[in-house]
Amino acid sequence: MATTDDSFNGITEHCEDCDLETLHEVSVQIRTESLKKENAQFSREPYRVSECQRCGNRSSQRMNNA
Ligand SMILES: [Zn+2]
């Protein structure tokens, strides 16, 4: 199984900039949406961030809607 590489969290998906299926590096970030400082503890949202390994375009989407 030469394709197994657990150290790189890569996934092939469509990139709008490349208009191609390209390899993306995917990670999850917890972002604090600080609309109001006192609400910060209630607005920590996990985001799925994917970065195109071809052009470097980054896209992120909130995961809570799933
Ligand atoms: Zn791209």
Q: What are the CA-CA distances from residue 59 to residues 6, 17, 31, 36, 54 (Å)?
A: 22, 11, 14, 25, 13
Is the pLDDT at 22 greater than 90? The verdict is: yes
**Average pLDDT of the residues in 1-26:** 82
Structural domain total, the chain? 1
Question: What distance in angstroms lies between residue 20's CA and the mean position of ligand 1's atoms?
Answer: 7
Ligand 1 centroid to Cα of residue 55, in Å, is 4
Rounded to the nearest whole angstrom, what is the distance from the C-alpha of residue 11 to the centroid of ligand 1?
A: 13
Report how far ligand 1's centroid is from the alpha carbon of 22 (Å).
6
Q: What tens digit of pLDDT does each residue of 25-58 get?
A: 999 998 887 666 665 556 788 999 999 999 999 9
Phi-psi bin for 19: left (phi > 0), alpha (psi -120 to 50), beta? left
pLDDT band at 65 (very low <50, low <70, confident <90, very high): low
**Domain span holding position 56:** 3-65
Q: Give the model confidence (pLDDT) of 10-20 as tens digits.
A: 899 999 999 99
